[in-house]
């Protein structure tokens, strides 16, 4: 399980500077950066600054580019005027402009609008790996209106072409590999790829797709943006959902991000971060979890996820026909048997099945020291502590000794160690068994 820290804020500070007979106040708005374990600490501040005409800038003279609202839900929720601001700021960010000047119609004082707009663009547009999801808004104190925004970029903006090529060399290969698959098949292919190839860890660019595709080390923001990027490239609406998830280690709800995907006309929650138990440090054994794979809102709430104010604006997920159980006719933990390559090729559901497994193992492999693995339901595991020594002897060892034809004295020892799998309904067990 991952843990997280939220990005912090602090009281604003202000100053002033006179430029062209107008006072300009820069307000720095920070949006939540989501990293389920790691979120950079950055304090909110405000400061006075002059409008610098030397900044490379974008203005609103160009025609507006309307976006497909099915693919950009945060854009879709804006007013008509708000959409024009979104469109112009997006064009400026795509061009790497340092300043986006607003038209007179767009110049209005609404700090809440611009604060949320910075997040909405980042959440809608996974391809903007150089944009940190933050604005500095230039406010004309004399007219009481915002006149321009200064998008905040990370260092990847310094070599956009090569960095974009590095991302697309990976993403385009995945898209080619899935071009003959259905959208549902491609989604699982992408989900599995992200889980198998990314290490969950913090980093300088862990809020964007560069960390996922190039560095292959990211937090939940990177996982969610990467899946969003791939599905949108296929023409499938895929949204970046934000909210909270329960952290077992911290024993509290922590900030988190996942995806909402539209498939076959319905919306589903999908969380690749919570799917990644594959070759991760401090996680054992190695496997991919489908506990939160195409599930409804009710199902994801059972997994202790909840949406925040941004996530609540996304479509409700009510269908349950594409989760792992519905697709494959069995719970996903049965797939873990093959993934983990357990010695026992079936799942143990009860105490009696467990005792039979021990007997079968001895009669098949003979006397000696044995170590083997299996998957077991957690409620059945609870029953094992109640098994008495005499029950082990009567149900396993006496019958095995008779079957193997062991004469004279013999001794037996047994022990097991277990690890809970994601969702905690099943566990992975390593069994020690000795008979001489």
Distance CA 392, CA 401 (A): 13
Residue 308 CB partners (closer than 8 Å, separation 6+): 32, 242, 243, 244, 255
- Alpha-carbon Rg for the chain in angstroms: 27
Q: Per the confidence metrics, is the pTM higher than 0.85?
A: no
What is the per-residue pLDDT for 213? 98
Q: Give yes or no for residue 311 having a pLDDT over 60.
A: yes
pLDDT at 109: 59
Torsion of CA 59, 62, 64, 65, to 10 degrees: -110
Both tokens of 336, joined, read 């873990």
Of the two residues 370 and 19, the one the predictor is more confident about is: 370
Parallel, antiparallel or unpaired: strands 252-263 and 238-247: antiparallel
Provide the greatest CA pair distance for the chain. 105
d(CA 269, CA 247): 19
Q: How confident is the model at residue 28 (pLDDT cuts 50, 70, 90)?
A: very low
With a cut of 80, say whether residue 4 has pLDDT above it: no
Cα gap 416→146, rounded to integer Å: 65
Q: Report the alpha-carbon distance of residue 76 to residue 102 in Å, rounded.
A: 20
Question: Does 214 sit behind a cis peptide bond, omega within 30 degrees of 0 on the bond before it?
Answer: no
The per-residue pLDDT for range 111-128, each reduced to its tens digit, is 778 889 999 999 999 999
pLDDT at 246 over 80: yes
Angle 323-327-329 (CA atoms, 0-180°, nearest 5)? 110
3-state helix, strand, coil in the chain (%, to 5): 35, 25, 40
Residue 288 burial (C-beta neighbours within 10 Å; 0-12, 13-18, 19+): buried
HSE-up of residue 142 (Cα within 13 Å, Cβ side): 8
> With contact defined as beta carbons under 8 Å apart, do 151 and 134 qualify?
yes
pLDDT at residue 21 above 70? no
Q: Is the pLDDT of residue 409 over 80?
A: yes
> Which domains does the chain carry?
18-156 (no CATH), 158-338 (3.10.620), 347-435 (no CATH)
Section 11-15 average pLDDT: 24
Mean pLDDT of the chain: 85
Collapsing DSSP to helix, strand or coil, 246 comes out as strand
The model's pLDDT over 282-303, given as tens digits with 9 standing for 90+, comes to: 678 999 999 999 999 999 999 9
| Nearest-5° Cα angle at 332, 329 to 336 | 130
- Whether 66 shows a pLDDT value over 50: the answer reads yes
């Amino acid at each position: 399980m991952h843990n997280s820290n939220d990005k912090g804020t602090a009281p604003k500070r202000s100053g002033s500077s006179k430029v062209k007979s107008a006072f300009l106040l820069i307000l720095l708005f920070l949006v939540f950066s989501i990293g389920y374990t790691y979120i950079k600490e950055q304090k909110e501040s405000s400061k006075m600054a002059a409008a610098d005409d030397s900044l490379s800038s974008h203005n609103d003279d160009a025609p507006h580019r309307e976006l497909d609202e099915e693919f950009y839900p945060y854009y879709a929720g804006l007013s008509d005027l708000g959409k024009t601001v979104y469109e112009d700021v997006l064009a400026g960010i795509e061009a790497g402009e340092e300043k986006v000047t607003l038209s007179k119609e767009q110049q209005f004082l609404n700090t809440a609008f611009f604060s949320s707009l910075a997040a909405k663009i980042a959440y809608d547009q996974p391809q903007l790996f150089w944009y940190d999801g933050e604005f500095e808004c230039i406010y004309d104190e004399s007219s009481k209106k915002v006149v321009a925004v200064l998008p905040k970029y990370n260092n990847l903006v310094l070599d956009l072409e090569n960095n974009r090529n590095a991302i697309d060399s990976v993403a385009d290969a995945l898209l080619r590999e899935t071009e003959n698959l259905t959208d549902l098949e491609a989604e699982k292919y992408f989900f599995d790829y992200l889980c198998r190839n990314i290490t969950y860890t913090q980093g300088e660019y862990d809020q964007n797709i560069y960390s996922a595709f190039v560095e292959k080390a990211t937090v939940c923001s990177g996982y969610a943006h990467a899946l969003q990027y791939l599905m949108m490239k296929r023409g499938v609406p895929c949204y970046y959902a934000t909210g909270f998830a329960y952290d077992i280690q911290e024993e509290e709800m922590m900030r988190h991000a996942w995806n909402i995907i539209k498939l076959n006309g319905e919306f589903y929650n999908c969380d690749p971060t919570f799917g990644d138990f594959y070759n991760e440090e401090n996680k054992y054994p190695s496997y991919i979890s489908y506990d939160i794979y195409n599930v409804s809102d009710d199902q994801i709430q059972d997994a202790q996820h909840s949406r925040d104010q941004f996530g609540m604006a996304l479509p409700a997920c009510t269908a349950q026909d594409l989760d792992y159980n519905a697709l494959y006719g069995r719970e996903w933990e049965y797939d873990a048997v093959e993934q983990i390559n357990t010695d026992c090729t079936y799942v143990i559901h009860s105490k009696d099945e467990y005792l039979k497994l021990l007997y079968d193992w001895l009669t098949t492999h003979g006397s000696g020291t044995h170590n083997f693995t299996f998957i077991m339901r957690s409620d059945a595991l609870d029953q094992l502590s109640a098994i008495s020594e005499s029950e082990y002897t009567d149900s396993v060892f006496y019958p095995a000794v008779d079957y193997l034809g062991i004469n004279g004295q013999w001794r037996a020892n047994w022990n097991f160690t277990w690890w809970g799998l994601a969702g905690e309904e099943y566990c992975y067990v390593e069994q020690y068994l000795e008979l001489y």
